[in-house]
Structure 1
Amino acid sequence: MRRVRRLFNNRKEKQSDAQSQTSVLASQDHLSNQIDDNIASLRSVYANCSDVIIFPFLIGESIQAYIIYIEGLTNSEAADEQIVNPLINSKVQSPTEVMKTIEQKTPVSNLQKTPLLSACIDSISNGNPILLCDGLSMGFSFSLAKWEKRGIEEPAAEVGLKGPREGFTESIITNKSQIRRIIKSPTLKMQEIIIGKYTKTKTVIAYIEGLADKTLIEEVENRINRMNTDNIDGILESGYIEEFIEDNPYSPFPQILNTERPDVTCSNLLEGRVAIIVDGTPSVLIAPTTFFSLLQSHEDYYQRFLISTAIRWLRYLFLFVSLLLPSLYVAILTFHQEMVPTALLLSMAASREAVPFPALVEAIMMEISFEALREAGVRLPKQVGSAVSIVGALVIGQAAVQAGLVAAPMVIVVAITGIASFMIPRYAMGIGIRLLRFPIIFLAGALGLLGVMMGIIAIIIHLAALRSFGVPYLTPLAPFKSQELKDTLIRGPWWKLNTRPHFSGNYNQYRMAPDLKPNPNQGGE
């Protein structure tokens, strides 16, 4: 009991310390012209923070000043060379001369002045050092943030044979610059929102003015701002925001597109969509999205349209295989043996002679085992992950067949289903299909093909009712828009893709002239 009471008292002391820091910010938010008061407030806020540097020095020979920054977030060498040294060597006698000297002799382009203690703390937390001077009720923030970050690499989840090899990183500044490098127009707008009571995560809403509908932009802003209204503690990844702003969080289908590729982000911006960039993650959110957009790959637009169309049809075919093949096998083997040719039925019966489980239990066992192997391969290091998943599948499948636990045809069905699921280009969509596979298998084992049809009808009804920021999920099939089918079931040639998708409200319909079809006879005799 004493130990529990001691822990409880320690927790109350920590809470009281946090409340006292909050009260300091609330009661003394405006800086004083007495530098000792300002430094005392900052020291109470940053108590027990060994990485916060509060460095005193004299401007000229008489005016006391302090520079405050966080070690590891600020370029300390540049702070010494561009701020401290010029001010120490200056000859000033009054606070008015100090302000002019700071503005004229510190070679930092982005200099901001603030009279608020809270704004100074936000600047320090972002890596920008704060300069405080005696006699001035104002802090000077210098843009000298610098921290270690990962270099630009090809995204591992969106690898392609053709197209750019660049991917987003965890730095929001780098990600914005990559988009700006592709779309050089000033109509590309980026609005910043700070989310999180503790993390204060920078979030940017990017769109092209004149292409994105204003009501869509306002809806995205309102849904994100609602997170600040709910006083959320912090955001560590874009998945936090995705769950807060999607239309139906209980649906297995993603309603927001995730991408780590700048070219995919820019292509969606050019179609009138909105991108949400979050600091600290390479994953960018695109809204709105549709069912067919999630089945499209960036390489569809870098290959010739005939090849892209053929690959897209193959992708749709294997989508149905991934969803329905195990359930069809269970339904036919359990209820509809008359649909199987006699020779094949005898072969399947012979392979199942020693199997003690019904087809339903057999399918569930194999599917769960395959999903476990797949997840194990993802979580393990790259050097052993692929080997474990492939060898594990071969060894376990062969051992299960020899032990008489499962039949060989079931191993083939599960393997084909697993390969088919890899054809889905978006991981979030693939996971949704993998989850829906299990209830359809249960329906097939209970009701046969009738259960499979009931599962398919339920999925179609759900998809027809689903929305992504108000846009029907099955657009352009439901509601039917014939003009947009040229980039849905097929990938039409570029000269045919002269109109943008119509999501809602006013939009810029044409993206190129309608008569750009190449003429083989043009340019020669």
Structure 2
Amino acid sequence: MKKLTDWVKKSQKLNNSEPTDDQSSIQKNLTLSLQKIKEDIGKSPDVMVREITIGNEKKTKMACIYIDGLVDKHYVHEFILNPLLFSIREADIDESNLSEESLYEILQKYSLTIGELSCIETYEEVYDTVLSGDSVIILDGETKGYAIGTKGWEGRGVEEPSTEQVVRGPKEGFTETIRVNTALIRRRIRDKSLIFENLQLGKRSKTDISIAYMEDIVDEKIVKEVKNRLSKISIDTILEGGYIEELIQDETYSPFPTIYNTERPDVVVGGLMEGRVAILVDGTPFVLMVPALFVHFMQSSEDYYQRADIASLIRILRFTAFLLSILIPSSYIAVTTFHQEMLPTALLVSLSAQREGVPFPAVVEAIIMELTFEVLREAGLRMPKAIGSAISIVGALVIGQSAVEAGLISATMVIVVSLTAICSFVIPKFNMSIATRMLRFGFMILAATFGLFGIILGLVGLVHHMTSLRSFGIPYMAPFGPIITSDLKDTVIRRSIKNLDTRPRLENQKDINRIDISDGETINPPKQLEGDQNEEK
């Protein structure tokens, strides 16, 4: 301890207590430094400044700064304050190694035992560190400090995703803590090629962002484009991934989403292994993935946990439901208004009898019912869970039955709207379901104006719009347009796992093969043993 005291005397003679010329740099005088820090961020009671001293004969002042509620107090007390006050006195320090900057080396080697340790030299770094949940120590007579990782705020644990539930598959979902989310991905990919690149967005919120990709699989052009678009974001606050999604998307005026979001780690891992890039945002359980194609929104992680024939049947149902959710109301309007000759006579007589007392044309009737259902669905989402489903069900039954009995709506229209709603629920992704709800009204207006010709015209325009979309340079309708035959094996029909031997060609240009050809024999069913064949004979 005497050696440390002698060093303190030497260092205090060399150090000047006057502030530095650069006002952004930490001043040598600890009192002045703490005064500035308290003026800038210390007005709130949760900012804690703990001043301590080391040495016996000649004291050296030191301060530990952190925010109560963002740090783990156990870490601060056991691994910072306690070592600084007691452990450093027991350190055997060689006097020949003492120098003007050696006290920080002594703290790093003999006292501070936390792994996350970095040097900071400006007040801005102090503020960013403290506001991020870490702690800072500053010494009297020094123009730098230490940033110590002590994050420990309360967070939600890993739970089952509420928006992407599956019958078979992992039940883990992302949380609002970015480090927990990166760990969930690391658990599933134990490969050195998995890269995480960190940055901060938001001038005031300074939200932590992490870009994840497989270095030996992903197309470098996609990674470069993601970084370029993120670097152009200039906004004061990022509260959720939706901010970033809207700022970096390819097409603003389109009902179709061009960026995929999920709260399932297995979905992100599957996307990374295909050559896609994941964007993790601190404070939200939803992870963004790019590029996002139309077929991705019609797929579910459970498709790969079932047999190929079952998964293919479910996918066919999804694509069929997508078309039906758009075309059922418009087709009903077109046929009943312009093309009655297409209906069988018995059905036409039944529909005419139902609509005899309805005062509105078919298009007005359909719009009223669709708007009513959308209001009920939105009310069910915003109500408390205990009564939300009950309100939506009772509201739909009461309003639908009462409207039919009052003669305002025909019974057939209630059936049409119900089928449309059920078909929209089949689509796995909620944002794609919203796109069908928006398109539905446009097709109803076209059907009321031009009949079936209007519907065909709308379909042509829809296909033209979808084929013109891009997601980070990749055609939105790939592999249908342009047609890539090798990638069609995992679209509407999913082939068996052993036949999914290549990755999508537009999303990666490096490691195309999923399955090593030399190891292909291990995937085939085992041949019957010779002994079993003899027993059968």
- Secondary structure at 2:128 match in 1: helix
Gap change, CA 1:491 and 1:50, over 3 Å in 2: same
**Corresponding residue for residue 339 of structure 1:** 342
- Secondary structure at 2:48 match in 1: strand
- Root-mean-square deviation (CA, aligned residues, Å) is 1.8
CA distance in 1, matches of 2:526, 2:141: 77
**Corresponding residue for residue 280 of structure 1:** 283
- Secondary structure at 2:50 match in 1: strand
Return the match for 1:263 from 263, 266, 288: 266
1:82 aligns with 2:79: yes
Within 5 Å, give how 1:76-475 maps onto structure 2. Answer: 76-89=73-86, 90-91=88-89, 98-103=103-108, 104-227=110-233, 230=234, 232-475=235-478
Normalising by the residue count of structure 2, what TM-score does the alignment of the two structures yield? 0.90
Q: Is the 8 A contact 1:25 1:118 kept in 2?
A: no
Q: Is the 8 A contact 1:52 1:71 kept in 2?
A: yes
Gaps of at least 5 residues in structure 1 are 1-23
> How far apart are residue 187 of structure 1 and its match?
0.4
- Secondary structure at 2:170 match in 1: coil
Q: Is the 8 A contact 1:60 1:88 kept in 2?
A: no
Where does structure 1 differ by over 3 angstroms across 4 or more consecutive aligned residues?
A: 24-27, 90-98, 513-517, 522-525
CA distance in 2, matches of 1:154, 1:460: 36
- Secondary structure at 2:147 match in 1: strand
Gap change, CA 1:33 and 1:299, over 3 Å in 2: same
Which range is displaced more, 117-126 or 327-336? 117-126
Gap change, CA 1:27 and 1:363, over 3 Å in 2: farther
* Aligned residues with identical type, % of pairs: 43
Question: C-alpha deviations, 1:239-284, integer Å up to 9, x for none?
Answer: 0000111100111000011100000000000000000000000000
CA distance in 2, matches of 1:522, 1:175: 45
CA distance in 1, matches of 2:238, 2:318: 35
Question: C-alpha deviations, 1:303-354, integer Å up to 9, x for none?
Answer: 0000000111111111111010000000000000000100011011111111
CA distance in 2, matches of 1:141, 1:193: 17
Q: How many residues align?
A: 499
> How far apart are residue 37 of structure 1 and its match?
2.0
Q: Is the 8 A contact 1:215 1:505 kept in 2?
A: no
> How far apart are residue 520 of structure 1 and its match?
5.3
> How far apart are residue 36 of structure 1 and its match?
1.6
**Corresponding residue for residue 519 of structure 1:** 525
Which one-letter code corresponds to 1:296 in the other structure?
Answer: Q
Gap change, CA 1:476 and 1:26, over 3 Å in 2: farther
Q: Is the 8 A contact 1:237 1:278 kept in 2?
A: yes
**Corresponding residue for residue 479 of structure 1:** 482
Q: Is the 8 A contact 2:41 2:127 kept in 1?
A: no
CA distance in 2, matches of 1:127, 1:521: 59
Gap change, CA 1:136 and 1:523, over 3 Å in 2: farther
CA distance in 2, matches of 1:457, 1:478: 14
Which range is displaced more, 260-269 or 112-121? 112-121
Larger radius of gyration: 2
**Corresponding residue for residue 493 of structure 2:** 490
CA distance in 1, matches of 2:370, 2:116: 57
Q: Is the 8 A contact 1:179 1:262 kept in 2?
A: yes
Normalising by the residue count of structure 1, what TM-score does the alignment of the two structures yield? 0.92
Q: Is the 8 A contact 1:322 1:417 kept in 2?
A: yes
Gaps of at least 5 residues in structure 2 are 1-18
Return the match for 1:68 from 65, 69, 79: 65
> How far apart are residue 392 of structure 1 and its match?
1.0
> How far apart are residue 518 of structure 1 and its match?
2.1
